Structure 1
Amino acid sequence: MDLAAREREIQQVGFSIIEEIFTNQEIEAILAAINKTDSTKETFRKSEDLFAIRQFLKEIPDTIDLIFNDKLKKIIRKVFGKDYFLVKSIYFDKPETSNWFVSYHQDLTISVNQKAEIPGFGPYTNKHNQFAVQPPLDILENNFTIRIHLDETNEQNGALKVISNSHCKGIYRPENIDWNIEKELSCNVARGSVMIMKPLLLHSSGRTTNNQKRRVIHLEFSNQILPKELQWAEYLDLDS
């Protein structure tokens, strides 16, 4: 695993796919922990097209040691550094017959504990008693996301489509995409593999057409200290 090459790819292209980070046994153990959880809580979202668990690692702490195995911790430390910590976790289960899709967007918000009037932070949203805010651009530029794929994912069951290098263009509104210049890539990811991406990378996800599940654990990381009036809604020190 050439992690130096992965680091360059993430910085230049905006994402990288690294295979075989989790064994089938590890994936099954994670799924078993999820399946035995009470799914009636407020942080759980259920519909015909999507099942999601917000603050996933808080809700199912039994998965923490399973997720942060030696391979994943090595990637985080070698590619990004030892000062990064987890600030958001979500579990997405896109069922076999899902018509749910997401159009092109950047991940422009972070999850915080409250609303506070601070220059450079805003606007705020509050959904299901969770606050999100758009922070200054430098915070988003330093953050990164790891998507752990619990199923084989391709164009037929909602693999992410991305626009290469779009993370280097600041706030890039989808309506301004110049398709004469930009190139769309499908990020097919095998079961047990991970996709690492920058939040500012333009990405979308299509409907499911092959009757195959797409279950993903979405983890966001930062090394940024927020103003004293705010705290990250989630925080996990990887060395604790």
Structure 2
Amino acid sequence: MEERNLRVHKNHILENGFTIINTVFSEEEIEKITDIIKNIDTSKENFRKSEDLFAIRQFFKEIPEITDIIFNDNLKKMINGIFGERYFMVKSIYFDKPENSNWYVAYHQDLTISVDKKINLQDFGPWTTKQNQFAVQPPLDILENMYAIRIHLDDTDENNGALKVVPKSHSKGIYRPETIDWTTETEEICNVKKGGIMIMKPLILHSSNRTTNGKKRRVIHIEFSDRELPEELKWSERLN
């Protein structure tokens, strides 16, 4: 992608909180990715399976062989051109909403980061711990500087749980969903083609509906930061 186009996307994210770029991955690359995921041992504790959802936490730690396919030249160029060269990966998760999934997610912001331990630090909290994984709400400036990339392994629209967002809500600090004033705010549905990506600021208010068209929605969600954490606290999945 040309630098001019990268600038357009960067400006769109800074202003609106998100952007969509289709055709980042070829049909062949998507096939390779899905084949690797299909053939993994899903009995580990980072894997979550229910009728409504299959998820892999710490995705790149669990499937390191997939890293080079996903961080292809195309994606690296986008990360450097849109985020900046100082950004590194801090979190990864794979979601599969099956065809009959009734999984519905209400409007929310992503307010926590994944870290290696729980320690008392000023301005860090509340904390949650799941299966020995630690998440904490950091100071606002850390959240404001983060980006997330969602890689779509299927065509996604409003009928199979595409994300809905409130444009510009990422620049309003901590924004409680119950205080959304729909007389002034708008909602946008983020349709993404198979092999495309959505880039978003984690602070944008976002939600997704249940699947109604019997089609899968598989997404790889990766978060990035350019900030080092204070004292001995570390990002749990840091990857340069």
Classify the TM-score, shorter chain: over 0.9
Alignment partner of 2:135 out of 118, 127, 132: 132
Matched, 1:85 2:92: no
Give the drift of 1:55. 0.1
Query: CA shift at 1:68, angstroms?
Result: 0.4
Is it true that 1:7 corresponds to 2:10 in the alignment? yes
Q: Which amino acid aligns with 2:227?
A: Q
Q: Does 1:203 align with 2:206?
A: yes
Alignment-derived partner of residue 27 in structure 2: 24
| Cα-to-partner distance string for 1:22-64 (whole Å, 9 max, x where unaligned) | 0010001001111111001000000000000000000001110
Matched, 1:103 2:93: no
Q: In 1, distance between residues paired with 2:161 and 2:199?
A: 17
- Note the C-alpha offset of 1:228: 1.8
Distance 1:182 1:80 in 2: 26
Aligned to 2:180: 177
Tell me whether 1:53 sits opposite 2:56 in the alignment. yes
Stretches of structure 2 that go unaligned for 5 or more consecutive residues are none
Correspondence for 1:159 among 162, 165, 179: 162
Q: How does 1:39-78 map to 2 (within 5 A)?
A: 39-78=42-81
**1:109-142 deviation line (CA, Å, top 9, x unaligned):** 0000111100010010001211000000000000
Kindly indicate whether residue 123 of structure 2 is the aligned counterpart of residue 120 of structure 1: yes
Find the aligned partners of 2:218 and 2:132 in 1 and give their Cα distance.
Answer: 24
What amino acid is aligned across from residue 24 of structure 1 in structure 2? Answer: E
- What amino acid does structure 2 have at the position aligned with 1:16? T
RMSD: 0.5
**Could you say what secondary structure the match of 2:81 adopts?**
helix
TM-score by length of 2: 0.98
> 1:229: Cα distance to partner?
2.4
In 1, the alpha carbon distance for the partners of 2:238 and 2:170 equals: 24
2 CA distance for matches of 1:128 and 1:159? 28
Q: Does 1:168 align with 2:171?
A: yes
Q: Deviations over 1:183-211 (max 9, x none)?
A: 00000000000000001000001100000
State how far apart, in whole Å, the 2-side matches of 1:101 and 1:41 are. 25
Q: Distance in 1 between matches of 2:27 and 2:51?
A: 27
SS of residue paired to 1:83: coil
Of the three residues 31, 35, 39, the one matched with 2:38 is 35
* Cα distance between partner residues in 1 of 2:219 and 2:206: 15
Structure 2: which amino acid aligns with 1:179? W
Measured against aligned partners, the alpha-carbon deviations of 1:152-199 in whole angstroms (never above 9, x if no partner) come to 000000000000000000000000000000000000000000000001
Question: C-alpha separation between the residues in 1 aligned to 2:217 and 2:231?
Answer: 38
Give 4+ residue runs of structure 1 displaced > 6 Å after superposition: none
Whole-Å Cα distance in 2 between the matches of residues 80 and 171 of structure 1?
22
